[in-house]
Chains A and B, each alone.
Chain A
Amino acid sequence: MHMTDGAAEVVRIDEAAVELGGRPVLRGIDLSVDAGEVVAVLGANGSGKSTLVRTMLGLVPTVRGEVRLFGATLDAFADWCRVGFVPQRVGAAGGVSATVREVVTAGRLSRRRLLAPLHRADRRAVEAAIDAVGLAGRARDGVTTLSGGQQQRVLIARALAGEPDLLVLDEPTAGVDVESQQGFADALESLVSRGATVVLVAHELGPLAPLIGRSVVMREGRIAYDGQPLSSFADAAHHDAPLPPYTPGVVAPLDASDHPEVHR
């Protein structure tokens, strides 16, 4: 860990707009994530939540505005070993099968010098990451022999292996069984307790909910809500559960069309 300052800005997006194929996908995005925050990006399909995190990492170019990671603009940013990414994926396989350990070892690349062999620290981090997602017994198995949920866990382990300060996850628990989700939540918790910053896109939080400190709700390419996690009242079952405070411009986390249209 080489955190500089407890309240350092890890991600900063100013006035950003993104177009894909000429179609506006993100508009007027202002977002700042401080070190140590755990942010959930929520929203309906097509609301731009996935594009938002991909923009954060420079995988999608902005047409306007600026993105900064750890204080540096994306063009100038070179400290990629501080960033971990779990892409949205159905499987973890390419045309040639690879073992779990081989895929997870790729997570150390940003910390390895060109042509340098694996150091002991690399091997330790890889084994720890495989352990953290509960696949210790499967390290030598081909990724294709694993179930979809286990393959997703391999991708999570790959990101954990890099020991990132900022972990960005795009729907990490989609299609992952509840047991795996719990294991993943535990792995994430240990990362967070070390001071890492987490930004994750999710449809439903499940076992991750207790970790989330802040929710960002996307709607039609804009940030519709940014603040306290909304899940705290989403699953209230008590007869006298307190109603959520009404905030203009705020829509429900899972942004259904049956909500009254609220415009800013």
Chain B
Amino acid sequence: MNLLDYGFIVRALIAAVVTGLAAPAVGTYLVHRRLSLLGDGIGHIAVTGVAIGLLTRTSPTITAVVVAVVGAAVMEVVRERGRTNGDVALALLFYGGIAGGVLLTGIAGQSAATLNTYLFGSITTISGTDVWVTVGLAAVVIAIAIGLAPQLFAVAQDPEFARVAGLRVRAYTMLVSVMAAVSVTVAMRTVGLLLVSALMVVPVATAQQLTHGFKTTLLLAMGIGTFASLAGVVTSAYVDVAPGATIVLLALAGFVAAYPVGMWVRRRARLRMPFVAETDPYAVPEPHTTVPETHQHVHGPDCGHQAVPHGDHVDYVHDGHRHAVHESHYDEH
């Protein structure tokens, strides 16, 4: 059969491509800030957004975007303000999000199966309108992730330095969080809210095995994400498996395959590294400076000159310089 003859598969492939590009693009910045699980947290909050959409009979995609963006902004503020309990505050937000979602879905009279299409994705039931919303949002996220790469990289790498460089650090960190929220909702229909973080983080981890530049990681992760998404949709068209889970497992398989390669590259790099110079730090350089002076006494613990331990011997401070007995003469040390 020709896959492209089926409208729903074409829509699924388009959604897969833009999700595969956008999620790892944002994910690279999250991983760089060591916030790999932020996407997961936003995904949990977006569940409430979906439920609000179901309850009010409006588009769950739009309500999810709104709630996820608000949730991401709140998380950013909590992270910045509450230094001690930020972690707990985030947990409260996560679980509040998912519990609220389940509760509101029940009130809306929708079944758990409806919610499941958002939790685990249902890329094959995506409507034409949803595809265009997805493409539009993803395009904005990708454009920002690449266009503002120097700024976003600097802010994620070293916020204090970025601030002294005159960047508005709070605005940029907030922007990354909002981008994460948008890509969560973009990926919601593809891999589902509970697996979205995998598509943000796993391709980045895989790319990290193969490259050590930031920009190359960003682009490679986007490539890997796209490949995994496409392969997942195509696989699920032939075999009866859930596309979302297939995409994530393919991405993970990519990581498992890349890991030994990364090990091998790192090992080779280590082998090529020059040895640390194995010189004796206390060795007397050749030729060394002999001090042409006659001493009235032999230096010792009681001679009154300051003694300085120096490796295997003791130097003595004498007339403004430091020297040590060497066979029949004194050496400048």
Contact = CB atoms under 8 A, between A and B. Distances in A.
A78 B164 CA distance: 10
A12 interface: no
Interface in A151-175: 155, 158, 162, 168
Secondary structure class of chain B's binding surface, majority of residues? helix
A81 interface: yes
B164 A57 contact: yes
A95 to B, nearest CB: 4
A239 B161 contact: no
Most buried by A among B153, B161, B167: B161
A110 B165 contact: yes
A106 B212 contact: no
B79 interface: no
Contact of A239 (B153, B165, B214, B320): B320
- Assign chain B's interface to a size class: 35 or more
Nearest to B158: A87
Contacts of A237: 306, 317, 320-322
A59 B150 contact: no
Contact of B162 (A81, A105, A109, A145): A109
B217 interface: yes
A89 B157 CA distance: 12
B72 to A, nearest CB: 18
Contact of B150 (A78, A87, A105): A105
Most buried by A among B36, B151, B321: B151
B32 interface: yes
Given A85-B161, A87-B161, A106-B157, A96 B150 contact: no
Given A94-B32, A97-B214, A115 B147 contact: yes
A95 B153 contact: no
Contacts of A239: 319-320
Contacts of B212: 97-99, 141-142, 144-145
- Assign chain A's interface to a size class: 35 or more
A245 B34 CA distance: 52
B317 A85 contact: no
B333 interface: no
Contacts of B165: 80-81, 85, 106-107, 109-110, 162
A96 B206 CA distance: 11
B16 to A, nearest CB: 24
B213 interface: yes
A96 B322 CA distance: 48
A110 B168 CA distance: 11
B151 A109 contact: yes
A45 to B, nearest CB: 20
B311 to A, nearest CB: 15
B217 A96 contact: yes
Interface in A99-157: 99, 102-103, 105-107, 109-110, 112, 114-115, 140-142, 144-145, 155
Contacts of A85: 160-161, 164-165
Contacts of B217: 96-97
A78 B166 contact: yes
Contacts of A140: 213
A261 B214 CA distance: 52
Contacts of A218: none
Contacts of B154: 106, 109
A109 B151 CA distance: 7
B163 A59 contact: yes
B299 interface: no
Contacts of B215: 102
Given A97-B217, A238-B319, A59 B160 contact: yes
Nearest to B322: A237
A95 B36 contact: yes
Interface in B199-244: 204, 208, 212-215, 217
Most buried by A among B153, B156, B317: B153
Most buried by B among A81, A96, A109: A96
Interface in B45-68: none
B208 A97 contact: yes
B171 interface: no
A251 interface: no
A205 interface: no
A140 to B, nearest CB: 8
B78 interface: no
A94 B161 contact: no
A83 interface: yes
B208 A96 contact: yes
A59 B164 contact: yes
A103 B157 contact: yes
23 contacts: A57-B164, A80-B165, A81-B165, A83-B164, A85-B161, A87-B161, A95-B31, A96-B32, A96-B208, A96-B217, A97-B217, A99-B212, A102-B215, A106-B161, A106-B162, A109-B150, A109-B151, A109-B162, A114-B148, A115-B147, A162-B165, A237-B306, A241-B320
> When A and B form their complex, which 8 residue pairs have the shortest distance between CB atoms, in order from nearest?
A80-B166, A142-B212, A98-B214, A85-B164, A238-B320, A106-B154, A110-B165, A96-B32
